């Protein structure tokens, strides 16, 4: 290994094997209660909870540790309204033909359509942006910005941790990808160097929230994993 500045791994915790087994089972039992929902309560959620979940997301591994992400957490009613109006506008085009027959058929079992009232009901919308350039210390000077690596993969991992952290905190989420999502740059005041990656809706579920039967079918381990 090349010489580099480093420090001992001091925060690693080794659990006895029985405890590892218990922890792995109990994490699975908990994460399998995560469901995407499309009906949120307007009950407020404190900013501190969202901040902690974002800090958890910010610990994600990333190409060359460039952390090519930016999260815009929106609780402003005015901005949520703008996001809903624009998302519904684009989604109408999607559902009225742009998606194509095959994609619309794949969505049938989820019961989704162009109406997104939850974009205003939910207490928090988290717009996630990816950065093609920036490096580990971001600078406002475009010329000085370093190339980021494995941007898509890195932001995907950070988003996964964020969803898990929100679930762990006791919140429900929806991963939403209005198509196209570029309107989010303007609404969230992010520059051209950033690309809207995903919109997460987070909050308490509405009393009548449901989960589609289609979404409850998860492939068995034998289908998703191979041990060699
Ligand atoms: C990348 C991605 C994009 C998604 N986009 C949407 C979306 O635009 N609208 C929506 O209602 N659900 C969307 N979903 C949610 C999926 O429909 C949902 O994850 C899937 O049906 C499985 O349900 P579950 O999350 O409850 O396990 C998206 C999920 C992912 C991972």
Largest CA distance in the chain: 58
> What is the per-residue pLDDT across 156-173, written as a single tens digit (0 to 9) for each?
999 999 999 999 999 999
Residue ranges in the chain assigned as alpha helix (H): 17-31, 47-57, 77-93, 101-108, 118-121, 151-169, 183-187, 213-216, 221-224
State in Å: Cα 218 to ligand 1 middle. 13
Q: Answer yes or no: pTM beyond 0.85.
A: yes
Domain ranges for the chain:
41-206
**Would you say the CB of residue 195 lies under 6 angstroms from ligand 1?**
no
Task: Supply the CATH classification number for the domain 41-206.
Answer: 3.40.109.10
> What is the per-residue pLDDT across 192-218, written as a single tens digit (0 to 9) for each?
999 999 999 999 999 999 999 999 999
* Closest to 73 in 3D by CA, of 173, 4, 212, 223: 173
| d(C-alpha 160, C-alpha 145), whole Å | 26
> What is the per-residue pLDDT across 78-119, written as a single tens digit (0 to 9) for each?
999 999 999 999 999 888 888 888 888 888 888 888 899 999
**Would you say the CB of residue 215 lies under 6 angstroms from ligand 1?**
yes
**Are the CB atoms for 36 and 174 separated by under 8 Å?**
yes
Residue of the CA atom closest to atom 19 of ligand 1: 36
**Would you say the CB of residue 210 lies under 6 angstroms from ligand 1?**
no
């Amino acid at each position: 290994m090349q010489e580099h500045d480093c420090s001992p791994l001091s925060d690693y915790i080794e659990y006895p094997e029985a405890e590892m087994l218990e922890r792995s089972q109990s994490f699975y039992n908990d994460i399998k209660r995560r469901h995407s929902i499309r009906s949120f309560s307007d009950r407020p959620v404190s900013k501190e909870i969202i901040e902690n979940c974002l800090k958890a997301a910010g610990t994600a591994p990333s190409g060359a540790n460039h952390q090519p992400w930016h999260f815009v957490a929106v609780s402003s009613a005015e901005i949520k309204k703008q996001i809903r109006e624009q998302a519904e506008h684009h989604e109408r085009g999607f559902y009225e033909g742009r998606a194509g027959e095959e994609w619309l058929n794949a969505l049938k079992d989820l019961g989704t359509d162009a109406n997104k009232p939850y974009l205003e009901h939910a207490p928090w919308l988290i717009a996630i942006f990816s950065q093609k350039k920036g490096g580990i210390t971001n600078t406002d000077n475009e010329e000085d910005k370093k190339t980021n690596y494995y941007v898509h993969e890195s932001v995907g991992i950070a988003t996964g941790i964020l969803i898990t952290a929100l679930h762990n905190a006791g919140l429900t989420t929806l991963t939403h990808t209005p198509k196209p999502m570029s309107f989010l740059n303007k609404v969230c005041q992010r520059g051209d160097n950033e690309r809207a990656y995903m919109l997460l809706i987070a909050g308490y579920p509405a009393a009548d929230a449901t989960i589609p039967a289609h979404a409850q079918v998860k492939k068995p381990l034998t289908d998703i994993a191979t041990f060699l």
